[in-house]
Amino acid sequence: MKTSKPTLLLVLGSAFITLNIVNPPRLRAESSSQWSVQVAKVDSGQVNLEPSFQVAIYESLLDELNKTKRFKQVLRDGDREATGISDLLILKTTVEKYSVGSETKRAVTTVAGATKLTVRGQLCTRDGKVVLERTINGNVRFMGSNLWATHNLARNIAKVIKQSSLPEASPALMQGPVNSDDVVVLELR
């Protein structure tokens, strides 16, 4: 039995419409349970980190978190708009390790001269309750600028946040005690 192209297109179109009516696609931006995030300034901790690296991590984090589409809004530290947002998480990053690399060594040998960064990232509610905490690495091992490690780090942080299951944004979570099921502490190396 031969089917014509118009009949096949009609059947496929009907199936597509039926599936969208039964299970409509949800847009993340319209979700009432979606968090907003404010990125706090990077804390260099006990590490002697160049100010350019702190700024590069911060700016890269803003860019990478926006790309995930995980949050309603991605706000800078000190943004006045954050005071009126009830479903706000604050991303705190503290540098734990920093190994200065050499672009020249990487270009010549491709095995020596890696720049490495390790940070502890925390997503906290406005009142300080931790909902996600991870140790995340970023590095540049081969060709590229030392600052490229900050981009890789920010991309890794955004990836971890995107793949993590955050609790639903609700006023009850932000005011009540934190349940042990709501806190995730993992260490990635």
Domain contains 99: yes
pLDDT at site 98: 86
Distance (Å, rounded) from C-alpha 97 to C-alpha 48? Answer: 9
Q: Is residue 183 part of a domain?
A: yes
pLDDT at site 2:
63
- 51, amino acid identity: P
Q: Does residue 14 lie in a domain region?
A: no
- Grade residue 113 by pLDDT with cuts at 50, 70 and 90: confident
Residue 140 in any domain: the answer is yes
What is the structure's pLDDT at 27? 37
Reading the block at residue 107, the tokens are 């270009």
- 57 within domain boundaries: yes
Q: Please count the structural domains in the chain.
A: 1
Report pLDDT digits (tens) over 143-155: 666 777 888 899 9
Reduced 3-state DSSP string for the chain: CCCCHHHHHHHHHHHHHHHHHHCCCCCHHHCCCCCEEEECCCECCCCCCCHHHHHHHHHHHHHHHHHHCCCCCEEECCCHHHHHCCCEEEEEEEEEEEECCCHHHHHHHCCCCCEEEEEEEEEEECCCCEEEEEEEEEEECCCCCCCHHHHHHHHHHHHHHHHCCCCCCCHHHHHCCCCHHHCCEEECC
Say what the pLDDT of residue 106 is.
62
Mean pLDDT value of segment 106-129: 83
For residue 150, the domain's CATH number is: 3.40.50
Percent of the chain surpassing pLDDT 90: 41
What's the confidence (pLDDT) of residue 116? 85
Residue 77 CB coordination number (10 Å)? 15
Q: In the Cβ-directed half-sphere of 174, how many Cα atoms lie within 13 Å?
A: 17
pLDDT at 174: 44
Domain that holds residue 63: 36-187
Q: Please give the mean pLDDT across all residues of the chain.
A: 77
Average pLDDT (46-71) is 93
pLDDT at 102: 73
Question: How confident is the model over 19-26, as a mean pLDDT?
Answer: 50
Q: Average the pLDDT over 163-179 and give the result.
A: 63
* For residue 28, pLDDT beyond 80: no
pTM of the model: 0.70
- Tell me: the pLDDT tens digits for 6-15? 665 565 556 5
In percent, how much of the chain has pLDDT > 70? 65
Classify residue 72: in a domain, yes or no.
yes
